Structure 1
Amino acid sequence: MAIPTTVRPHQATPSQRRDTRRVAVATVVGTTIEWYDFFLYANAAGLVFAQLYFEPAGPQLAILLSFGSVGVSFLFRPLGAFLAGHFGDILGRKAMLVITLILMGASTVLIGVLPTYAQIGVMAPVLLLLLRILQGISAGGEWGGAVLMAVEHAPDAKRGRFGAFPQLGVPLGLLLATGMLAIMTAVAPGEAFIEWGWRVPFLLSIVLIVVGFVVRRSVEESPVFLEIRDRAQRTKKPVVVLFRKHWRLVLLAALTFAGMNSAGYMTTGGYIQNYATNPDGPVGLDRQSVLVAVSISAVTWLIFTMLAGIVSDRIGRRATYIVGWIALIAAIFPLFALVNTGNIWLLCLGLCLFTVGLGFTYGQQAAFYAELFPASIRFSGVSISYALGSILGGAFAPMIATALVQATGTSVSVGVYLTIMATIAFAATLAIRDRTGIPLGPDHEEEQSAPAIYGMSRT
């Protein structure tokens, strides 16, 4: 396998290095807040929403509906991606980051004050779904802007490293969400958690919105976008151009994310939390212990995500993915075997082993996606590929996993499902050329437009 040799390092000035670090901090802070909000809902769906908003449907259907509400938001991610991609390629990356942050935070705070089914009847789940849809639109537009700000500011030889910073927002967001819920299970144990304790982490999002807004407003616009703007080279209909010329690449890029996303949503989507704490299930662990274990695994996920970004600068994005897919597939069945022991420490070990593959199929993704698409349509390409991948992967993964266990009576069926998804993603990765280090500026649109899929010639 050939390792790309197109990386063009340059000597950055002290001022440029400070700007790059400032952007890295701003993107990780912003994405952490976004994913804290998003995962907070998913965790609450596995822990309390079935009881509070869907209970009249009966125990089994209620949990399916609760996890289904997690997945509904993914159906609206492409809308957020289309809107943010279109305006991000025309108006800039920075404005989209601020708008999506405010939308996500406001939706989360409103969920924290939303009455339950017992209080207002069927309007409760309807309003819950509407707020979750707004979260989905925000998440669809957030990621593309954050990763392009990080990657397009980064030195050529360190795109993987700096592109990993917004990726850290996922494990950090998971850590914050599960950590806050774990704290509240101690502060408000038992029925108190059901009555009001779960609401506190949602309401605290208003503080995070202010912090994220201030941080994101402080960074400079992407230098690539500024160059495109100054040269009046902005594409009027970037989404149309994207699908006319690069639809196959969008599909393959989406599939590479789908495998990791379906696996990641076993924890970020609340499935493991529900499976391990269900008193009628095979494990029956207490809520606080499981949340702490998931929080610990979020730390190891963070470490391997950052490591994957750094490694990808040395061996290439594609080679790093290959390592990740092998590690992820190898950990799937051991994860469920360890969870089923009912031992909290073995559950924690299984989750930590699982995060090796999760990190090594995620840390390099920002740089990998940014290097696939031409500068003039890059925001659209990155955002839409990510949104479609999230639908194919994580959207209904917790719901599918729950339905499989209910139908088969064993978690082995979930392992088979995740293995199939990871294998498809592995194959999609192998079909895409490694373009590590390719120039990202508008001067190199011809090189960026060259076929990125094996077996395709320029049309």
Structure 2
Amino acid sequence: MIHNTYLMAMSQEFEMEQSMSTVAHSHLPPARRVAAASMIGTTIEWYDYYIFGTAAVLVLNDQFFPALSPAAGTLAALATFAVAFIARPFGGIIFGHFGDKVSRKTILVWSLMLMGMSTFIVGFLPNYDAIGIWAPILLVLLRFLQGLAVGGEWGGAVLMALEHAPEKKKAFYASWTQSGVPAALVLSSTIFLLMQQMDEASFHAWGWRVPFWISALLIVVGLFIRLRITESPEFLKMKSEKREVRVPLFELIRTAWWPLILGTLTLASPNIIFYISSVYLLSYGPTHVGLNRDSVFMALIIAAFIQVFTIPMVAMLADRLGKKKIMLAGAAMVALLIYPVFWLVNTGQPMAALGAMIIALPITHATAYAVVASFIPELFQPEVRFTGSSLAYQIGGIITSAPAPFIAEYLMQSTGSSMAVATYIAVAAAVGFTAIALSRPAKKRIDRPEARASSSVTP
């Protein structure tokens, strides 16, 4: 009953917006405004996501798991961080369901609000000394809600940019959403780097909460921008032709299970090199090579900043040469260039570490990742595109991103050689290369009245 009431309310909102769109179609905002809104919103959502991960390493173990040993407390904090990976596919299913049935835009606004509220509350959450066991319980719950929000964010953001974009510039405009990920990494890392300049007592007492409080201001900005854009034209067309399906998840499993598998595996190369570079190398450099942690941190920030601009540059090339060619080139680059990345880091020189980060992120990862936002959604028909894109991206995160730092450290401890880690990444890139090679865009529907009538499975 609650589900039906919610659908009716959102349907009314959709019908109003559809009517307005029909009357003033020529006044729809340009693709660049929608792409910019998607990028800014994605930056804010991933900023919220990343600051939790940084806090998990720096301070959450002391604040919420003090009864454990330092090592066990750190593991518990990292486990709390990992909870979001479990929640993300559920977010993709929930937000994808309504995004495919009712509204792309509305769901995108709700995902931003959920992420913002969850993050802001973490900044005020009492620690273990204040409320005991409820502190870590509430922390895990808020992290789960963050995962739900991110699960719906990526699919909605890329679809709004992609479905508003001109036919010959789809990779370019969709890639703006991808640029939001390194932009968020720069923003979150910089703020935490500044906060760590405080004396240690102040940082642990209240300084670590400031990045979470800042998210409230960012969310207000994001909502203001997202509320000013219109619904996806492709989604409006699908609704006008009554092609929405009753349960997008079931329809996806029934008709597009193979594209879902391939879409998930295409993420192996970009996801693994990103998390190896942005997470594992932060500990590998100081622990195994003797690099100063701040040097590695600054190298990461500089490389991520450059990547904000190289991602759309790669996407422009994809619009000219073809998305699939660039995706294949990106996977091949990951397999080949990961070895020089470790060779440079192993020198123990800060400038060499910066060179390694630049090879890994704005060059290699950008090539492998820039076109994902237009490549994966086009594997699915519009009526299951939100659900399919979100699930492929989020399941890909679970099986590739989440275990990457742990597998890398296990290989390093077992073999004593970083080349074993590099080979693991190269094999993963080969898996991604194969999935990309096998992938095909979903066939476009024939715009005939009889075809449209038969395509609807909604009673």
Same fold (TM over 0.5): yes
**Matched residue, 1:99:** 110
Aligned residues: 428
**Matched residue, 1:271:** 280
**Matched residue, 1:370:** 377
Distance 1:445 1:289, change over 3 A: farther
Q: Is the contact made by 1:263 and 1:418 (CA closer than 8 Å) also made in structure 2?
A: yes
**Matched residue, 1:282:** 288
CA distance in 1, matches of 2:219, 2:114: 10
Out of 315, 320, 324, the residue aligned to residue 318 of structure 1 is 324
Indicate whether 1:419 and 2:426 are aligned.
Answer: yes
By how many angstroms is 1:381 displaced?
Answer: 1.2
By how many angstroms is 1:378 displaced?
Answer: 1.2
Deviates more, 1:29-38 or 1:226-235: 226-235
CA distance in 2, matches of 1:28, 1:126: 32
SS of 1:234's partner is coil
Stretches (4+) displaced over 6 A: 440-447
Out of 421, 436, 439, the residue aligned to residue 432 of structure 1 is 439
Distance 1:112 1:272, change over 3 A: farther
Distance 1:378 1:26, change over 3 A: same
By how many angstroms is 1:338 displaced?
Answer: 2.8
Out of 210, 217, 238, the residue aligned to residue 220 of structure 2 is 210
More RCO (CA 8 Å, sep 6+): 1
By how many angstroms is 1:203 displaced?
Answer: 1.1
Out of 230, 238, 255, the residue aligned to residue 220 of structure 1 is 230
**Matched residue, 1:456:** none
- Give the residue type in structure 2 aligned to 1:19: P
Out of 236, 245, 259, the residue aligned to residue 249 of structure 1 is 259
By how many angstroms is 1:43 displaced?
Answer: 2.2
**Matched residue, 1:85:** 96
Unaligned runs of 5+ in 2: 1-23, 453-459
SS of 2:206's partner is helix
Deviates more, 1:295-304 or 1:406-415: 406-415
By how many angstroms is 1:403 displaced?
Answer: 4.1
Distance 1:183 1:444, change over 3 A: farther
By how many angstroms is 1:72 displaced?
Answer: 2.0
CA distance in 2, matches of 1:114, 1:299: 31
By how many angstroms is 1:96 displaced?
Answer: 0.8
By how many angstroms is 1:248 displaced?
Answer: 1.4
CA distance in 2, matches of 1:442, 1:342: 60
By how many angstroms is 1:239 displaced?
Answer: 1.1
CA distance in 1, matches of 2:436, 2:50: 27
RMSD: 2.7
Distance 1:376 1:333, change over 3 A: same
Out of 253, 259, 272, the residue aligned to residue 262 of structure 1 is 272
CA distance in 1, matches of 2:27, 2:344: 47
SS of 2:144's partner is helix
By how many angstroms is 1:367 displaced?
Answer: 1.2
CA distance in 2, matches of 1:148, 1:81: 13
Distance 1:415 1:256, change over 3 A: same
Q: Percent identity?
A: 38
**Matched residue, 2:300:** 294
- Give the residue type in structure 2 aligned to 1:232: K
Q: Is the contact made by 2:28 and 2:230 (CA closer than 8 Å) also made in structure 1?
A: no
**Matched residue, 1:329:** 335
Q: Which digits, 9 at most, give the CA deviation of each residue in 1:14-40, with x for residues without a partner?
A: 967852121011111100101111111
Indicate whether 1:388 and 2:395 are aligned.
Answer: yes
By how many angstroms is 1:105 displaced?
Answer: 1.1
Q: Which digits, 9 at most, give the CA deviation of each residue in 1:109-130, with x for residues without a partner?
A: 1222233345444433332222
CA distance in 2, matches of 1:309, 1:262: 20
Q: Is the contact made by 2:332 and 2:429 (CA closer than 8 Å) also made in structure 1?
A: no
By how many angstroms is 1:227 displaced?
Answer: 1.4
SS of 2:44's partner is helix
Unaligned runs of 5+ in 1: 1-12, 448-459
Distance 1:177 1:111, change over 3 A: same
By how many angstroms is 1:174 displaced?
Answer: 0.6
